[in-house]
Amino acid sequence: MSITKVSILNFEYTAKSLEIYPFFPVINSQLEQDPKHLDTISYFNCCILHFFATNRSQIFAFLAKIKALMKTLSENNLPDVQSSVDPRNIDIEYVGVRGMELPVSVQSSTGLQHTVAKIGMYVGLDASKKGTHMSRFLGLLSNHQTPISHQSLVDLMQQMLQNLDAIEGKIELEFPFFVKKAAPVSKLESLMNYQVRYEVIQRNGQLHVLQTTVVPVTSLCPCSKEISRYGAHNQRSHITITIRCNDGQVSLEDQIRYAEESASCALWSQLKRVDEKFVTERAYENPKFVEDLIRDVAVALNADSHILAYRIQAENFESIHNHSAYAQISKGVL
């Protein structure tokens, strides 16, 4: 008779003696599935020998310890409901977690930058599976300490698909990004904030990383300038650029610069009076409709050979109307 079988029989006998026999099938099942649990059985046998060698006043405390250990083993055999078969036979395009907020570091052209990201992670679910394992998404993020970059997001996607046993998925990250800018005349330095969004999509055997920046700028109306004896209406505008590029070779700073250089004037967080005079006159000398804004951005993106596809959106929050002026240009497949 094998050592394993002897251990089982020995434990079965002593389990009956200790009145914990109802737990025996759990240990027996564990041992048959994986012989490495022989060490567990040996441990229990040693505990039982110790039991008979101790004073009877310790019986109940010892039994409580044994039963607690047996309960732990029993709980480890809880059913995995998510992995069961679903009879409806309907694929789910994306399922996962959304709205997680975590501190992250971002790789920029000037070094690492720390920020807080709102994150969503999803996988495609096969029609035969009842559900996905939601906790694995959070575990994956907890273990991912690499700064956010094009390559680290590709790696994160591959890890997610492997951990969730999926072939398609999507990851979304959105966070504030800061650039230190010097005022145009006084050179006073201050941080300017921009909104950044990444989307990593694995679908139909292809992986795309989309990089989006939302850049606030100033626009001044050419028509208003032309028809007015003095002054012209101007407003803050948002230029949103989404690109797909080769290996992340377009930095966030470059993407922001393409938008700011296409506007009537850029924005700064802090200005002196000499700077305010400059930006006012700069915008007046460089009037642009929303159509001008978006076309000038398109010219800059077309000249960058690293950019494979893009979508540009420009919105002017009109200062003399209760609506916005809007334009969009797309090129290629995002």
The mean pLDDT value for 81-100 works out to 91
Give backbone dihedrals phi and psi of 114, rounded to 5 degrees, phi first: -100, 135
C-alpha 125: how far from its chain's center? 19
CA–CA separation, 93 and 16 (whole Å): 52
Residues 52-66 have a mean pLDDT of: 60
Alpha helices, H only, the chain: 3-17, 24-33, 38-53, 59-75, 134-143, 150-163, 222-227, 252-260, 273-285, 290-302
Q: Distance between the two ends of the chain, CA-based, in angstroms?
A: 66
In which residue are the tokens 């992340």 written?
Answer: 248
Q: For residue 19, what pLDDT band results from cuts at 50, 70 and 90?
A: very low
Give which of 69, 38, 39, 63 is closest to 50, Cα–Cα: 63
User: Ramachandran region of residue 84, left (φ > 0), alpha (ψ -120 to 50) or beta?
Assistant: beta
pLDDT at 4: 43
DSSP string of 279-294? HHHHHHHS---HHHHH
Q: In CATH, what is the architecture of 92-331?
A: Roll (3.10)
CATH 3.10.270.10 residue window(s) in the chain: 92-331
Summarised one tens digit per residue, pLDDT across range 270-329 is 999 999 999 999 999 999 999 999 999 999 999 999 999 999 999 999 999 999 999 999
Given CA atoms 301, 242, 257, 322 in this order, what sign does their dihedral have?
A: positive
Neighbour count for residue 236 (Cβ, 10 Å): 14
SS3 127: coil
CA dihedral 264, 268, 273, 274 (to 10 degrees): -60
Contact 184, 269 (CB under 8 A): no
Cα-to-chain-centroid distance, residue 41: 44
Residue 55 has pLDDT above 60, yes or no: no
- Is 80 exceeded by the pLDDT of residue 206? yes
Triad 123, 146, 306: Cα angle to 5°? 80
Between 55 and 240, whose confidence is greater? 240
- Residue 70 has what pLDDT? 64
Per-residue DSSP letter, 86: P
Looking at mean pLDDT, say which of 17-26, 76-85, 194-203 comes out highest: 194-203
